[in-house]
Amino acid sequence: MESASFPAPSPSSLQPSQSHEDLHSTVTLNNKPNKPSNLPTPTAVPWSTGLCDCCDDCHSCCLTCCCPCITFGRIAEIVDRGSTSCGVSGALYMLVMCVTGCPCMYSCFYRSKLRGQYLLKERPCSDCCVHCCCEACALCQEYRELKNRGFKMAVGWHANMDRKKPTSTPAIPPQIEAAMSR
pLDDT digits over 115-166, tens only? 999 999 888 888 889 888 988 999 999 999 999 999 999 999 999 998 888 7
Q: What is the pTM of this model?
A: 0.68
What is the residue-averaged pLDDT of the chain? 78
Answer with the residue of higher pLDDT: 67 or 38. 67
53-81 in b/e form (b: 16+ CB < 10 A) is: ebeebeebbebbeeebbbbbbbbbbbbee
Report the alpha-carbon distance of residue 16 to residue 148 in Å, rounded: 54
Domain that holds residue 156: 54-160
Q: Which residue has the higher pLDDT, 168 or 5?
A: 168
Local confidence band at 29 (pLDDT 50, 70, 90 cut-offs): very low
The residues facing 29 across adjacent strands are 32
Residue 33: pLDDT over 90: no
Q: Which residues contact 77 (CB under 8 A, 6 or more apart)?
A: 84, 85, 86, 89, 156, 157
pLDDT of residue 168: 64
Q: Give φ, ψ of 29 to 5 degrees.
A: -100, 140
pLDDT at 1 over 50: no
Domain annotation covers residue 119: yes
Q: Which backbone phi and psi does 9 adopt, to 5 degrees?
A: -65, 140
Domain count across the chain: 1
Partnered with residue 120 across adjacent β-strands are 45
Q: Is residue 80 part of a domain?
A: yes
Q: Going by C-beta distance under 8 Å and a sequence separation of 6 or more, which residues neighbour residue 165?
A: none
Is residue 46 domain-resident?
Answer: no
Instruction: Determine, yes or no, domain membership for 116.
Output: yes
Residue 179 lies in a domain: no
The amino acid sitting at 72 is: F
Please state the rounded mean pLDDT for residues 14-24: 43
Contacts of 135 (CB under 8 A, 6+ apart): 68, 103, 104, 107
Q: Does a structural domain hold residue 182?
A: no
3-state class of 100 per DSSP?
Answer: helix
